[in-house]
Amino acid sequence: MRLGVMVLATDLTMPPAELAEAVESRGLSSLFLPEHTHIPTCRLTPYPGGEPLNEEFHRMLDPLVALSIAAAVTSTIELGTGVMLVNQHDPIVLAKQIATLDHLSNGRFVLGAGFGWNKEEMEHHGVRATDRRKVFREKVLAMQALWTQDEASFDGEFVSFSPSWAWPKPVRKPYPPVLLGGAAGPNFFTHVVEYADGWLPIGGSNLRADIQRLHRHAESAGRDPQSLSINVFGARPNLGSLERYQELGVDRVVLALPPADRFTDVRGATRDQILPLLDGYSNLVQKFTD
């Protein structure tokens, strides 16, 4: 079981290059960054994690730019999004950006992606909330075509392009792992089984039963359940919980750093607070890393 970290990186938190170097030097396996392009002030959609919506959500750095800077100063850690709001991007451009980052980092990118919860935010990008799952599916499938085909094309309801050349191709084959973030359920698991490489649940509540449900869903669709990785996201460094995740066969646990861990507000997520937490996390690496 690999241990990584995630942080809601903003213009006020520890710079991503320094953070990435600190993560890698302590033996942790990955750094994940989330995404919000903006937060509409007219927001009516309640935040699933509970209100109020903290300041870091409208100060987030662009994750691909930040991870590119992190890639330049590291050589081993995986660089992931958790989660990227694919619906808020042109899929041809996003496929190019991801392939470029994966190419320049020598195959270290991981695409944690989600449908999105903020209806006002996605509507500003021209996506109706009622269509977000269908749009997301087409955009991911279109990107996978661009990553794997020399002459890629796609003909869908929301995404369509004629045979095209697009390089670079990702270093990781057939493409960077696609991990879907979302709540357990038959509709969500249908998406995971069809075109994803794993599940990215937030926290581990009811995880044993949910993994069994996912595996049954995969088997009924003719997919090997073991081909789907389980990646617990935004976890606390609780020894008992980590032991339970390991016993359940979880592949990766992504531990939260402030302000994502809710220990502090965005202005408190500085190197003086984060580095001691990373020191503590590093003590867990040898015990839980395969």
pLDDT in tens, 176-230: 999 999 999 999 999 999 999 999 999 878 999 999 999 999 999 999 999 999 9
Report yes or no: 12 and 269 within 8 Å, Cβ to Cβ: yes
pLDDT of residue 55: 87
- Does 225 sit behind a cis peptide bond, omega within 30 degrees of 0 on the bond before it? no
Per-position b or e across 39-68, b if 16+ CB within 10 A of its CB: beeeeebeeeeeeebbebbbbbbebbebbb
Report yes or no: 140 and 94 within 8 Å, Cβ to Cβ: no
pLDDT in tens, 249-288: 999 999 999 876 554 555 556 788 899 999 999 999 988 8
Which residue is listed with tokens 């085909």? Answer: 149
Q: Is the pLDDT of residue 83 over 90?
A: yes
pLDDT in tens, 38-73: 999 999 999 988 888 888 899 999 999 999 999 999
Q: Which tokens belong to 120?
A: 């006002």
Residue 13's alpha-carbon distances to 69, 91, 256, in angstroms, are: 15, 29, 14
pLDDT in tens, 13-34: 999 999 999 999 999 999 999 9
pLDDT of residue 270: 77
pTM value is: 0.95
pLDDT in tens, 126-159: 999 999 999 999 999 999 999 999 999 999 999 9
Give just the sign of the alpha carbon dihedral 260, 65, 90, 167. negative
pLDDT of residue 273: 86
pLDDT of residue 268: 54
Ordered DSSP codes for the chain: -EEEEE---BTTS--HHHHHHHHHHTT--EEEE---S---TT--SPPTT-SSPPGGGGSBPPHHHHHHHHHHT-SSSEEEEEEEEGGGS-HHHHHHHHHHHHHHTTS-EEEEEE--S-HHHHHHTT--GGGHHHHHHHHHHHHHHHHH-SSEEEE-SS-EEEEE---PPPSSSSSS-EEEE---SHHHHHHHHHH-SEE--BS-TTHHHHHHHHHHHHHHTT--GGGSEEEEEEE---HHHHHHHHHTT-SEEEEE-TTTTSSS-GGG-SHHHHHHHHHHHHHHHHHH--
